[in-house]
């Protein structure tokens, strides 16, 4: 399936849409039926983040620098102490960054409320965004318990680093939850780890990127153009 990327930088809104081939989160149940992993390996409690806090944001408009903007297909803006994503087009991957600072060896965490989004809407954290803006890692989950840790490369199909280029269904991610506490580690040694509600869901190693910008994203289902997701209490902590 194809998806459109819509990037809202910390300083300006990029109006160009970049189309890249990518997997569809709504297909994860089919992958499970075809013998792909439907359980989560090595679930453990997340270690406490003990390093210094490098950045935190409660999404107060007067002090935040996240990229915001609006058109007929999507809106990203501040709303009552959250960063609110509304997507009205199917298959849109909309992401926003808070600054042009490069981070490395970090643990990120954020609270996410899917609201009335379609259950196949994916949402999450990205890290190590490169200067071309469309190359980065991201960790995504859905309200149906699906997840992936993936690599985006400009002008190429995204590659899901989990389960042989596919999504995974995890019994550790509760279905239909009102809100999720999502965390992600991005290390300069290539280790990428995804956490949900304080539990480590999966870890993957890939050494393509070692540092870059961070951000948040919403990815609407390829079949249903209904996504309304709030992010709150974003924090970045050093893990080195």
Q: Any idea where the domains of the chain sit in the sequence?
A: 27-64+98-217+227-238
Distance CA 218, CA 162 (A): 19
Residue 28 is predicted with a pLDDT of 43
Residue 29 is predicted with a pLDDT of 37
Mention every residue, 6+ apart, whose C-beta is less than 8 A from residue 49. Answer: 107, 109, 237, 239
Mean pLDDT value of segment 59-86: 90
Mean pLDDT value of segment 155-184: 95
Distance CA 228, CA 76 (A): 10
Mention every residue, 6+ apart, whose C-beta is less than 8 A from residue 188. Answer: 104, 105, 210, 211, 240
CATH superfamily of 27-64+98-217+227-238: Exo-inulinase; domain 1 (2.60.120.560)
Q: Could you tell me how far CA 152 lies from the centroid of its own chain?
A: 12
Distance CA 206, CA 224 (A): 32
pLDDT in tens, 84-127: 999 999 999 999 999 999 999 999 999 999 998 888 999 999 99
Tell me the whole-structure pTM to 2 decimals: 0.86
């Amino acid at each position: 399936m194809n998806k459109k990327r819509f990037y809202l930088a910390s300083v300006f809104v990029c109006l160009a849409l970049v189309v890249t081939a990518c997997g569809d989160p709504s297909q994860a149940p089919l992958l499970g039926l075809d013998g792909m992993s439907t359980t989560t390996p090595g679930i453990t409690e997340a270690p406490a983040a003990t390093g210094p806090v490098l950045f935190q944001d409660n999404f107060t408009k007067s002090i935040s620098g996240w990229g915001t903007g609006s058109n007929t297909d999507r809106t990203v803006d501040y709303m009552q102490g959250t960063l609110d994503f509304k997507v009205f087009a199917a298959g849109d991957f909309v992401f926003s960054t808070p600054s042009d600072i490069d981070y490395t060896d970090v643990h990120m965490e954020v609270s996410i409320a899917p609201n009335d989004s379609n259950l196949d809407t994916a949402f999450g954290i990205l890290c190590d965004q490169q200067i071309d803006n469309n190359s980065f890692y991201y960790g995504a989950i859905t309200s149906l318990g699906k997840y992936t840790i993936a690599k985006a490369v400009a002008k190429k199909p995204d590659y899901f680093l989990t389960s042989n280029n596919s999504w995974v269904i995890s019994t550790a991610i509760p279905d239909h939850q009102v809100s999720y506490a999502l965390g992600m580690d991005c290390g300069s040694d290539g280790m990428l780890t995804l956490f949900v509600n304080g539990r480590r869901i999966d870890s993957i190693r890939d050494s393509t990127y070692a540092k870059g910008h961070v951000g948040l994203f919403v990815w609407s289902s390829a079949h249903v153009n209904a996504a309304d997701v709030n992010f709150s209490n974003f924090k970045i902590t050093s893990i080195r």
